[in-house]
Amino acid sequence: MPNFDTYAALFRAGFTGTQHLLVSALFQLGVYGPLIAGLVATWLDGGKPGLVELWGRVRKWQVGARWYVIIVLIALLIPAIPTGIAALTGMTGFRTAGAIGLPYLILLLFAQIFTSGAGEEPGWRGFLLPRLKARFEGEKYIWLLGLVWAIWHYPYTTYLTLTVMQDVTPAQMVVTILVTLAGQTMGLIGMTFLYAWVYNKTQSVFVAILFHATSNVLPLLVSSFLADPQVVTMFVGFMPWVLVVVLQVTLGKERFPEQIAST
How would residue 263 be classed by pLDDT, with cut points 50, 70 and 90?
A: very low
Spatial neighbors of 149 by CB under 8 A, at least 6 apart, are 124, 188, 192
d(CA 4, CA 134): 36
How would residue 7 be classed by pLDDT, with cut points 50, 70 and 90?
A: low
When mean pLDDT is compared over 133-142, 204-213, 251-260, the highest value belongs to 204-213
pLDDT > 70: percent of the chain: 86
Residue 61 has pLDDT above 80, yes or no: yes
pLDDT in tens, 178-205: 999 999 999 999 999 999 999 999 999 9
> The whole model's pTM is what?
0.88
> What's the mean pLDDT in 225-239?
80
Instruction: Specify the range with the lowest mean pLDDT, choosing from 37-41, 164-168, 223-227.
Output: 223-227
How would residue 25 be classed by pLDDT, with cut points 50, 70 and 90?
A: low
d(CA 113, CA 137): 32
Closest Cα partner for 116 from 186, 28, 36, 230? 28
CA angle 28, 33, 35 (to 5 degrees): 110
- From the number of C-beta atoms within 10 Å of its C-beta (0-12, 13-18, 19+), residue 250 rates as exposed
What pLDDT was estimated at residue 98?
56
- From the number of C-beta atoms within 10 Å of its C-beta (0-12, 13-18, 19+), residue 77 rates as middle
Contact 15, 24 (CB under 8 A): yes
133-151 burial code (b ≥16 CB/10 A, e <16): beeeeeeebbebbbebbbe
d(CA 232, CA 260): 34
Q: Which residue has the higher pLDDT, 5 or 36?
A: 36
What pLDDT was estimated at residue 13?
59
* Angle between helical axes of 102-112 and 205-223 (0-180°, round to 10): 150
What pLDDT was estimated at residue 29?
80
Instruction: Specify the range with the lowest mean pLDDT, choosing from 56-60, 88-92, 148-152, 166-170.
Output: 88-92
- Dihedral of CA atoms 149, 154, 155, 158 in degrees, nearest 10, equals 150
What pLDDT was estimated at residue 2?
47
CA distances from 137 to 99, 199, 216 (A): 45, 17, 30
How many C-alpha atoms does 106 have within 13 Å on its Cβ side?
Answer: 3
d(CA 134, CA 149): 18
Q: Which residue has the higher pLDDT, 5 or 131?
A: 131
> What's the mean pLDDT in 142-166?
91
What pLDDT was estimated at residue 115?
92
> What are the DSSP calls for 8-20, one per residue?
HHHHHH--SSHHH
- Phi, then psi, of 226 in degrees rounded to 5: -95, 145
What pLDDT was estimated at residue 128?
97
pLDDT in tens, 27-58: 678 899 999 999 999 999 999 999 999 999 99
Residue 136 has pLDDT above 50, yes or no: yes
**Count of CB atoms situated within 10 Å of the CB of 3:** 12
